Structure 1
Amino acid sequence: MAEDVIAKAPRWRRWGKEALWLLLMALVVSTLLDLWRGPSLPDGAMEAPFTLQDGTQTSLAELSRDKPLLVYYWASWCAVCRFTSPTVEQLWQEGENVLTVALRSGDATQLQLGMGKKGLSFPTHNDEQGDLAAKWQVGVTPTFLIIKDGKLTSTTTGWSSRWGLKLRLLWARW
């Protein structure tokens, strides 16, 4: 019996090492993809005015002054966004600083109706024609940006968990 336990220990150790290598490789690939697909904000993007769905105007610099801002680029037709939008809504309801940009999701009325049906109330800028996406070189939805004091601190694309987003916001506070 003791011989069986001793014989299995190296196998578990080997599997643990392989799992660690696999995790490390996934992290490297994910980071490289984020760098490759990440947006590139042009000069003046932080001060440029945004008009939100409710008609108010603001800027990224203004919104990110007191605490980190999560900018969530999404679309009503995006399959992955169906899973990430409720997460962003939850963060917004919990008091996190959130601004969303809806990419080619219809006119203001269509967007408002669609958001209402999905229970989304986060502040949204409607990028109806995709002009902002072109300026920022956003080619993937969803795209997440973290901005603190008018400076881009982190970006990621694709699905992200609630805890992943919360950790990015926490990291930006330091």
Structure 2
Amino acid sequence: MTTDTLKKDIAKQTPKKKILSIVKTVLLYGLMFVVIYTAVNWWRQPVMPANPQLQLMDYQGQAVDLTALSHEQPTLVYFWGTWCSVCSFTSPTINKLAAANNYPVVTIAVQSGSNQELQNYLTEKDFKFTTVNDQEGYIFDDWQGQVTPSYVILKDGEMTQGLTGIQPLWSLKLRLWLSSIF
């Protein structure tokens, strides 16, 4: 086929065919994105340790029992860091979810400084969520965490879901609700 013939064929396409072609292309690339994103998210998600430490202390010295919280209803555990640029986008969402008080939310600040530095950061950002200070990153390592932000949903002391990256509020609420049903 010559270049002139190809140009004529393209010119003959009706607007409807052009739109259909664009829609097919967008759907194909969208599907490819979803498949790749899901695969990468699955690969990078935290993994529940064989003997997880679920009785923790927050940075203020208050006991946090993830097992007890997750027996009442699904509990979101959010791994993040004050140094994490993506977390600066996701933490306000977690703060909203925690403030709604529909589900327990416990955050684990990974290698984010001393308790005082963490408190200053939380105060500056007006974050009110329960936070455990994982100064050395041992808790995150125990969960085989690879990236921040990472999320774990616990139900009855067991992990039902793990995910990473930017998660919209509706997605987290949906996942928590689904964990409460199944």
Tell me whether the two structures share a fold, i.e. TM-score over 0.5: yes
Q: Secondary structure at the match of 1:64?
A: helix
CA contact (8 A) 2:110 2:134 kept: yes
User: Are 2:74 and 1:43 aligned?
Assistant: no
Task: State the partner residue of 1:3.
Answer: none
Q: Distance in 2 between matches of 1:68 and 1:41?
A: 15
Please tell me the residue identity of whatever aligns with 1:168: R
Task: State the partner residue of 2:169.
Answer: 162
User: Deviations for 1:133-159, whole angstroms, at most 9, x for unmatched residues?
Assistant: 111111201001111122211111111
Following superposition, the deviation at residue 71 of structure 1 comes to: 0.7
User: Deviations for 1:36-90, whole angstroms, at most 9, x for unmatched residues?
Assistant: 1111221121x63111123222332211112111111000000011111111001
Q: Secondary structure at the match of 1:50?
A: strand
Q: Secondary structure at the match of 2:97?
A: helix
**Aligned residue pair count:** 168
User: Deviations for 1:98-132, whole angstroms, at most 9, x for unmatched residues?
Assistant: 00000010111111111100101100110001111
Q: Secondary structure at the match of 2:151?
A: strand
* Unaligned residue ranges in structure 2 (runs of 5+): 1-12
- Structure 1 segments, 4+ long, off by >3 Å, are none
Q: How does 1:10-49 map to 2 (within 5 A)?
A: 10-45=17-52, 48-49=54-55
Task: State the partner residue of 1:72.
Answer: 78
Task: State the partner residue of 2:58.
Answer: 52
* Unaligned residue ranges in structure 1 (runs of 5+): 1-5
The normalised TM-score by structure 2 is: 0.86
The normalised TM-score by structure 1 is: 0.90
Structure number with bigger Rg: 2
Please tell me the residue identity of whatever aligns with 1:156: L
